[in-house]
Amino acid sequence: MKQVVIWLLLLCVAGCDQAPVPAQPLPAAVDFTGDPATHPEKINDHLIHSALDSHVQACASAEALQSAIITLLDHPNPFTLAASRDAWRDSYSSFLRARLYGFLPVTDPVEWQRQGLSYHQTLSLIDSWPIEGGYIDYLPGYPFTGIVNDLTLPLSSDTLQQQHGFADPASVSLGFHVIEFLLWGSDGQRSASDYLRTETITAVAGSSSNKNTATHADNTADNHLNKDTPPGVINQDRRRQYLQLVTAQLLDHLRRLQRRWERDTGYYARLVASSTPAAALQAGMSASARLIRTELLEKRLSGNSSEFSASSQQDSLALLQGMQLWLLGSESHPGALVPLLSTTQPDLLMQWQTTLAQALTPATEAATTNAGASDTTETPAATLLIHNIEQLDTLLQQTASVLRLTLPDTH
C-alpha cells in the first residue's frame, strides 16, 4: 500500500487568518534518516524562515509597486510608466519566489473556505491567468470595452471582487495580470497619456460583457486630452481609479498570506513548528515536486503567463529561485538539504547545486534574449530550460529515495 503523503491537520477556526486553537503536531509518515549531529529540528525552522522571508519580500515589493504607480498617476510620462513596469516585474517575481509554500500539503480551516479566504481562493485573487484583456479595458478596434469603460459599473473594491471570474475563468478583474494589462496594454505599447488627469468626460456607457454594442457619445473628450493621447482613448479617470484599487487589493491579499507565516501567531507557521522534522521535510519535498511537475512542466512552460509584458520566462526563473532558497538556502540560513547531505551525501548535494545553476542560467539568458517576444515557449533556450527542469525532477526523486521520502504522484 502506498504511503500516505503528509497532510497538515485540519483545524476549525472562527477567525480570519489566525487559528485560536493549538496546532497539533503531525505524525511522521517516514523514518527520519538524517544524522542527529546535523540538528534535524532546523528543518522546521528553515521552512518557517524561508516561507516568512519570501512572503515579507513579496509584500515589500508590492509596496514598491504601489509607490511607483502613485508616482505614475501623479506624473504620467514615459519614465514613470517604465518605472512602474519595472516595479511590476520585480513584484511579480518576488511573489513567485514564495509560490513554493502554496504547494505544501496544508488543509485550510473550513471557516476560511466558507469566507473565501483559503489559500487557493486567495491565490485566484492574486495570480489568475490567462486573462481576457477586453474584460478590463479597451482593445485595438474596441475603444469602449471593459470594466474601465463600463460606466454602469461603479468602481470599488467590492464590485471588482464581484466581477472577478464573473462569466468565465478568464474574466479576471483582480491580481498581478490585471495590473500588467493596465500598464502594458494588449500589444505592450500602452501610452502614459492613458493616465492623464482629465476634466469630466462624457463617455460611452458600454458593457464589459458586450464589447461590440457601444455608441460614442456626442460630447467627446478630444478637447480635454493631451495631444499625445491615442485617438478614442477615454475614461482616464476611471482607469486611474481602477489601477489604484487593484494595486491596493493585491497588497491586502499578499499581506493575508504573510500573516499566516508569522512565527508564533501564523496558522501555517504554527503547524510546521508543531510537526516532526520528518513531517516538515516530507511536506517541503512534496511541495518541490508539485512546483516542478504541476506549476512548471505542466503549466508555466507550456503557457504564456505574463503575455502583455512578454516576460513569461522570468516567471519560471523566479519559481526556481524560490525552490533554490528552500533546498539550498543562503550563507546565513542553509537550506533543507545542506545539513542532511553535506556529510553523508556530498556528491548528491553538489549535483543539486550544479543542476539548479544550470537550470537558472538558461532561464536568465532566455528572459534577456527574448525580451519583447510574444511567445517564448518554443525557443532553443526554452527547450533547454525544460530539459534542465526535467533533470531537477529526476534528481528530486533520487534524493527522496536516499532520504526514504515519498513524493506525490502528480502524473
pLDDT digits (tens, 9 = 90+) for 116-141: 999 999 999 999 999 999 999 999 99
CA atoms within 13 Å, Cβ hemisphere of 247: 28
Q: What is the tens place of the pLDDT at every residue in 156-177?
A: 999 999 999 998 999 999 999 9
C-alpha cell at 103: 504547494
Which residues sit opposite 329 in a β-bridge? 334
| Residue 222 pLDDT | 35
Average pLDDT, the chain: 83
pLDDT top residue among 367 and 314: 314
The closest alpha carbon to 123, from 256, 302, 16, 308, belongs to: 256
Would you state the pLDDT for residue 167? 87
Q: Which of 170, 152, 173 is nearest to 162 (CA)?
A: 173
> What is the pLDDT confidence band of residue 98, given thresholds at 50, 70 and 90?
very high
Confidence (pLDDT) at 183? 98
The pLDDT of residue 333:
83
Q: What is the pLDDT of residues 247-286, one digit of tens each?
A: 999 999 999 999 999 999 999 999 999 999 999 999 999 9
pLDDT at 145: 95
Please name the amino acid found at residue 136: I
First to last CA, the chain: 18
Residue 373, pLDDT > 90, answer: no
Rounded to two decimals, the pTM is 0.84
- Higher-confidence residue of 378 and 12: namely 378
pLDDT at 99 over 80: yes
Alpha carbons 184 and 305: distance in angstroms, whole number: 14
* pLDDT for residue 199: 54
Helices and strands per DSSP (H, E), number in the chain = 13, 0
- What pLDDT is attached to residue 381? 79
Of the pLDDT bands very low, low, confident and very high (cuts 50, 70, 90), residue 330 is confident
Q: Flag whether pLDDT at 30 surpasses 70.
A: no
203 pLDDT more than 50: no
- Report whether pLDDT(24) > 50: no
223 burial class (0-12, 13-18, 19+ CB within 10 angstroms)? Answer: exposed
Confidence at residue 377, expressed as pLDDT on a 0 to 100 scale: 58
> Most confidently modeled of 6-20, 37-51, 55-69?
55-69
